[in-house]
Amino acid sequence: MSQSITFQVQPGGSLRGEIRVPGDKSMSHRSIMLGSLAEGVTHVRGFLNAEDAMSTLEAFRAMGVKIEGPVNGEVTIHGVGKHGLQAPAQPLYLGNSGTSMRLLSGLLAGQSFDSVLTGDKSLESRPMRRVTAPLALMGAEIETQENGTAPLHIKGKGNLKGINYEMPIASAQVKSCLLLAGMYAEGDTVVTEPAPTRDHTERMLTGFGYPVKRDGSTATINNQGQLTATQIDVPSDISSAAFFLVGASIAPDSDVTLKHVGINPTRTGVIDILRLMGADIEVLNQRSVGGEPVADLRVRSSKLKGIDIPEHLVPLAIDEFPVLFVAAACAEGRTVLTGAKELRVKESDRIQVMADGLQILGVDAQPTEDGMVINGGAIGTGRVDSHGDHRIAMSFSIAGLRASGAITIDDCANVNTSFKEFKDLATQLGLKLSVI
């Protein structure tokens, strides 16, 4: 994959129109995993055909699962049952996808064959002890590099034991990893989280007929269930919609409707935070699709005000902070984020990288250990580096709507990992974005 994609955004403009952003990435990953382990044939609509979700799909193909598609977001998975996976001939390469690696580590710890998980340079530098340590308590044998990073060498012994685990940090990936391992463990696996995180795994397990008990912040699973094939209609990804929620809020004379967006309450922090800042966001046509709440979101320009972001909303908007920092830069007054240390170990150190870029553009943005302080004002012009992080690249593209001159963004190839239609949809709505 060429790393030399550079975005350039000409300043100004407004966003107007109606679009449907691609399918939710979290749910696309999980539909492949659970569909592969189900009895029967699962049909998925709205699958996100981007590199991260394709990494999961290719991994299951490499373990003997027949998967047709994706064609126009449709995938057909011929499930092999809970114990039907075959040993992969080679290490499973997961590209840039932290979700694939963390969830698969749990799933593969419960198999009777050995496996190896690898990824690109960015993924192989991300912290994996947060999953390997609790899996070891369940009896898993996983070898990591000295500093706890991938490649992960997983010994398939097939004799996991359930544990009662209180998670030290709120992470949907760690929770999901342990629940998937718990499907193969003797006795109950009980996972308690310190703050709510996205619950797509629990909802989708239930959708496939696998018993999961939920009680407040605790989820319990055991090895007594089985998965039965189902139909899945993946809603649009609110993390992708977030760029347009912010863009239409900050650009004058904007009016955008985003269709069929997943509004799972564990993911709507971005809407809550923008509304606290004064954004005009209407939630229309609410409905439920396959156990997940969905709605159309209409956003119109508004004058945003700086706020202290409530800490309880932080885990519910963790992926949306890069673009929320752009909203803060356009808001009147000061915005303060605390309690978001997790942002430092994403695809890049999102606190430092966003602060560096905003400062280059003339914004008063001061990074702190666990967040940022931004004094809203004018956005200037300049050249910023996304550090190969898709969300950083897209966030600075949106900043062009309020910039005084062109913004050039280097190292944007990774936008393809999550949202390769971004450029087309953004320009269709009115963003003056080109690839140079």
Query: Active-site residue numbers?
Result: 319
CB 269 within 8 A of CB 238: no
Cβ-proximal residues to 188 (8 Å cutoff; 6+ apart), any chain = 162, 164, 182, 220, 221, 222
State the Cα angle at 326 between 321 and 329, rounded to 5°: 125
3-state secondary structure of 303: coil
State the Cα–Cα distance between residues 291 and 287, nearest whole angstrom: 10
Q: Number of helices (H) and strands (E) in the chain: give both, helices first.
A: 13, 25
| 369: CB partners within 8 A, 6+ apart | 341
Indicate the SS3 state at residue 18.
strand
Cis peptide before 151 (omega within 30 of 0): yes
**Using an 8 Å Cβ cutoff, are 52 and 291 in contact?**
no
Neighbours of 378 (CB within 10 A): 12
User: With the C-alpha atoms ordered 242, 243, 249, 253, is the resulting torsion angle positive or negative?
Assistant: negative
CA 47 to chain centre: 14
Whether the CA torsion 313, 315, 319, 322 is positive or negative: it is positive
End-to-end CA distance of the chain: 17
Beta bridge partners of 372: 337, 367
List helix spans (H) across 237-349: 238-250, 269-276, 321-330
Residue type, 376: G
Asked if 399 and 11 count as a contact pair (C-beta separation under 8 A), the reply is no
User: Could you tell me the CA-to-CA distances from 289 to 85, 261, 336, 360, 427 in Å, in that order?
Assistant: 29, 11, 36, 43, 29
SS (H, E, C) 94-106: CCCCHHHHHHHHH
| Maximum Cα interatomic distance, the chain, rounded to a whole number of Å | 61
